[in-house]
Amino acid sequence: MAEMSAVDELTKLFNRRYFVEALEGEYERAIRYGTEMALIMMDLDYFKVINDTYGHLAGDMVLSKIGNLLNTHVRRNDLACRYGGEEFAVILPSVSKESTYAAYDRFREKVFAQPFEYESKQFSITVSIGIAYSNSAESINDLLAHADQALYQAKEENRNKIVTYIADSKSCD
């Protein structure tokens, strides 16, 4: 029963409620021990077009497949979740900026290379990704806002890209 309340049925990833609780704990741990953690926010590009063109069952198939790809991509102590709709989030404790960017650029490429097929119709999908780090935030709300701001910028810049929030300039790169 506890697992059912923490796991998204479609993607088999943790749900938003579980994610928020875990984020609080990981953020506090990073601050307490002076380590760096990353928060990844990602959104499937033009997902509404998939639902409108192929139907909601095709959309569900895409979400399920993306959940599986993400679950096999994350490290053992990372936490991946379905944040809502076609949005996903990953908490990465104890990371370096370079390895995080490289790992999620590989994930972005993996999603783009993944063939999707529904009722003999083939299509592809891309993902936009925003990254923020605990040292850029004074609170969990800041961390979420920074990751969201980076994600929004990735979507504004033609999608299918990664943007990292830069704390010093209050902008993204």
Strands (E), 106-173: 116-118, 121-123, 127-133, 162-166, 171-172
Residue 157: active-site member? no
DSSP string, 24-36: HHHHHHHHHHT--
Distance of CA 31 to the CA centre of its chain: 22
Annotated active-site residue in 21, 26, 36, 86: 86
Count of CB atoms situated within 10 Å of the CB of 33: 9
**152's tokens:** 């929004």
Question: What is the crossing angle of helices 140-156 and 16-33, to 10°?
Answer: 110
Count of CB atoms situated within 10 Å of the CB of 29: 14
As annotated, the active-site residues are 86
